[in-house]
Amino acid sequence: MSEVTIDRLPIPPQVKEVMYEKHIEKLWPPQVESIKAGLLDGESMTVSAPTSSGKTLIAELMITKVLLEKGGKALYLVPLRALAAQKLEELKKWERLGIRVASSTGDFDRYDRWLADYDIVVLTYEKCDSILRRRTTESWVTETNVVVADEVHLVGDRSRGPTLEVVLTRLKKINPEIRFLSLSATISNAAQIARWLSSKLVVSDWRPVPLRQGVYYGGRIYFDTGETVNVKHTGDEPVVDLALDSINRGGQVLVFASTRRQAESVAKKFTGKLSLSEVEKKELNDLAKKLGSYDELGPTHDELASLIKSGVAFHHAGLSFDARTTLEQAFMARKVKVLASTTTLAAGLNLPARRVIIYDVTRYEQGFGRIRIPVLEYHQMAGRAGRPGLDPYGEAVLIARKADDVEELLEEYVRSKPEPAEPQLLDELTLLPHVLSNVTSGYAADEQKLREFFSETFSGTLSSKPSMWRSISRSLKFLLDNSFLTDEGGYLLPTAFGRKTSEVYFHPYTAILVKKAANYGVSGVDRHSLHLVCLSVEVPKPRLGMKEKEDLSYEIDQEEDELPVSLEEYVETMMDLSPDPYEEYLGAWKAAKVLEWWVNEVSEAKIEEAVGVQPGDLYQLYTTASWVSRGIASLFQTLKSDRSLVKAYTDLSVRLESGVKSELLPLVGLRGIGRVRARQLYNSGIRTLRDVAEAPIERLTQLRGVTTQLALSIKEQASKLSSSV
């Protein structure tokens, strides 16, 4: 393929200038192929290529050309919040050209009219779905003329696939002229996705760094090329030998583990094993101090701070955002030599290493026991091998436990093509929220229109139409029977209850539970109110041990009469949706207990020590619970529940967001004031907004962490807020 340089591209000159500043002077093969297929000529595109092959630049070329020449907006859709943050940073380089970039990923029930002022908007799939449900109030969406769907192969994912399908289908409906750029990992049915989105297909297996793939056993790596490489045996486990072998050759190592516990265990194996210079030791000690400086450090972070001194770390979703960010920066700066991670890093975060070690090809899945990971997942992990511009090659190595496994692993993973993305929008339980939102948002007014819409989804183009029609009919019956919709002579109309359910982005089953609690009296006990929040489909339930189940069951027996939704009501409601509603009811009680501690200002460290809920999980729990609590208050208002109930859940939402008792609510409403500073203010006698407004600067700055600048800011905020009350 002939080389294509930036100066030859038919793109605005100011775009070329930005690319030159970023030292981009020529294109990689997948980028060249995309341009030849019509990327810059108005075509929609589906690009299926390996990790780190330059797909983001393909998106930037399309977006900047369209926005600078024609105007409009671009949506950049991603599956994960962390990936949204990464893409936002990457896209900010275009702001110097007057292209405004923003991101929104949470608060599914809140309006985002402010996004109308931006040209490129980065959204998670779910956030985009929630915005499209309010298209009459979020009219800026109709200005969209470019949509980038990152990781589009996730249409085959059970949890995220249905939402992604519906979002892309809706965007096609809103603007038939919209241009799609779908970016996919290498999958076997990329052509089906391309046909679905009426786009040109580019498939490439090119990588910027050559990839060698093999299986380790008995002191040797057996590569798929037939080459065998000896690895020095140090007396340690294979993973240690493999890592040290690469580090001694100047590389870094990523180890992918199947669980958090396994990732932590693998990292500990390297304690004291790496040879470090005095400079490296100092840098790592500074990193350990930085990790130790984060507020409310718990056992997991203690362990991490200790390990990082040895040049090794673990990375998973249980860590706080600050800790994960620090680790990622340290790994990119080559301060950390070995990073043991769960598959979070394989799902899009750009942290390559010379050698990637897949520690285990099995994982536990509820209801199925231990299962083999998909081939696609292996390829995503292997794709992280090799740092462009830094490594002469990348290596992905599986570990065999016995000699017979070597050939089996080579055949099953290295030589096999990734699985196709299978449609997931098939049964009535999956369809339910999307059928409801299509009616409430005005996309469909009768069953025929629903059929037409869903026939245009990815699942609809590949599945049996009669089967899908039956699922739609069953979904409609459920929504009509439970008063989400009414049928007025063949026309489907949303009830106030159904409309609000869709607006706050609740699953219909959650709304039914809320309806059952609509006449619940406020008990004044946080745990009782929180149990309803945690029973929702949206709030993650912690896994329980056998002894824990017994203890929780006993506690619930003592208090069930005072709970908003009884065990019997919950099981009756959820039996079609949940494989084990009884365990989920108990799990919701545990989650409620954790959140009760949180809103009563118990530290993250003490919560982790008491029940093992790590900071990252706690953050996910209380942010989700805050949104759900706010949605419950909205539904109670629609159902005309007692005002005290509406207020209780409205206040609870703010308390969950900030982790405070009720008396601190006025103070945490000030920007720059979190739970710790709010408690300091309150304990020093500054308890109301008026108190803050009237407090001398000198008094405020005596408090830990309150600078003169912050003191001036909160005084100004408090003055405005107190005068408007």
The CATH class given to the 665-724 domain equals mainly alpha
The CATH class given to the 508-659 domain equals mainly alpha
- For residue 624, what pLDDT band results from cuts at 50, 70 and 90? very high
What is the tens place of the pLDDT at every residue in 201-226?
999 999 999 999 999 999 999 999 99
Token pair in block for residue 568: 């019997």
pLDDT given for residue 140 in this prediction = 86
Least confident of 235-239, 259-263, 314-318: 235-239
Percentage of residues of the chain with pLDDT beyond 90:
81
Q: pTM here?
A: 0.93
pLDDT given for residue 368 in this prediction = 75
CB 540 within 8 A of CB 624: yes
- For residue 348, what pLDDT band results from cuts at 50, 70 and 90? low
Cα angle for residues 599, 604, 607 (degrees, 5° grid): 80
What mean pLDDT comes out for the span 245-250?
95
Percentage of residues of the chain with pLDDT beyond 70:
97
Domain 428-503 indexed as CATH 1.20.1050.140: no
Q: Which of 564, 514, 525 is nearest to 652 (CA)?
A: 525
CB-count burial class (<10 Å; 0-12, 13-18, 19+) for 720: exposed
What mean pLDDT comes out for the span 513-542?
90
Q: Which of 85, 130, 78, 90 is nearest to 103 (CA)?
A: 85
What is the tens place of the pLDDT at every residue in 475-484?
999 999 999 9
Mean residue pLDDT across the chain: 93
pLDDT given for residue 295 in this prediction = 55
Residue 60 has pLDDT above 90, yes or no: yes
E-assigned strands of 536-610?
A: none
Residue 622 has pLDDT above 60, yes or no: yes
Q: How many CB atoms are located within 10 Å of the residue 8 CB?
A: 12
d(CA 704, CA 676): 9
What is the tens place of the pLDDT at every residue in 298-316?
899 999 999 999 999 999 9
What is the tens place of the pLDDT at every residue in 315-339?
999 999 889 999 999 999 999 999 9
Token pair in block for residue 689: 């907004």
Residue 636 has pLDDT above 70, yes or no: yes
pLDDT given for residue 370 in this prediction = 87
Domain regions of the chain by residue span: 29-203, 211-414, 428-503, 508-659, 665-724
User: 26's torsion region: left (phi>0), alpha (psi -120 to 50) or beta?
Assistant: beta
Cα angle for residues 225, 230, 232 (degrees, 5° grid): 150
d(CA 325, CA 332): 11
d(CA 636, CA 647): 10
| HSE-CB of 96 using CA atoms within 13 angstroms | 9
* Sign of the CA dihedral running 406, 408, 409, 415: positive
Binding residues: 31
What is the tens place of the pLDDT at every residue in 396-437?
999 999 999 999 999 999 999 999 999 999 888 899 999 999
d(CA 133, CA 170): 10
Would the CATH topology of 29-203 be identical to that of 211-414? Answer: yes
Give CA separation, 534 vs 126, 503, 632, in Å: 20, 19, 11
The CATH class given to the 211-414 domain equals alpha beta
End-to-end CA distance of the chain, in Å? 68
- For residue 343, what pLDDT band results from cuts at 50, 70 and 90? confident
Residue 296 has pLDDT above 80, yes or no: no
Q: What are phi and psi of 413, to 5 degrees?
A: -115, -55
- What kind and span of H or E run contains 123? strand 120-124
What mean pLDDT comes out for the span 120-138?
89
Residue 294 has pLDDT above 70, yes or no: no
What mean pLDDT comes out for the span 99-116?
88
| Fold held by 29-203 | Rossmann fold (3.40.50)
- For residue 704, what pLDDT band results from cuts at 50, 70 and 90? confident
- For residue 575, what pLDDT band results from cuts at 50, 70 and 90? very high
Binding residues for ATP: 31
Residue written as token pair 């809320």: 514
Q: CA 70 from chain center: how many Å? A: 32
pLDDT given for residue 521 in this prediction = 74
Which residues are within 8 A (CB) of 69 and not within 5 positions of it... i.e. 6 or more apart?
12
What is the tens place of the pLDDT at every residue in 483-527?
999 999 999 999 999 999 999 999 999 999 999 999 887 766 789
What mean pLDDT comes out for the span 249-265?
95
| Diameter over CA atoms, the chain | 80
Q: What is the 3-state secondary structure (H, E, C) of 424-471?
A: CCCCHHHHHHHHHHHHHCCCCCCHHHHHHHHHCCHHHHHCCHHHHHHH
DSSP 310: G
What is the tens place of the pLDDT at every residue in 363-380?
887 777 889 999 999 999
- For residue 192, what pLDDT band results from cuts at 50, 70 and 90? very high
3 state DSSP class of 220: strand
Residue 685 has pLDDT above 90, yes or no: yes
pLDDT given for residue 422 in this prediction = 93
Residue written as token pair 């869709």: 502
Where do runs of H (alpha helix) occur along 38-104?
55-70, 81-91
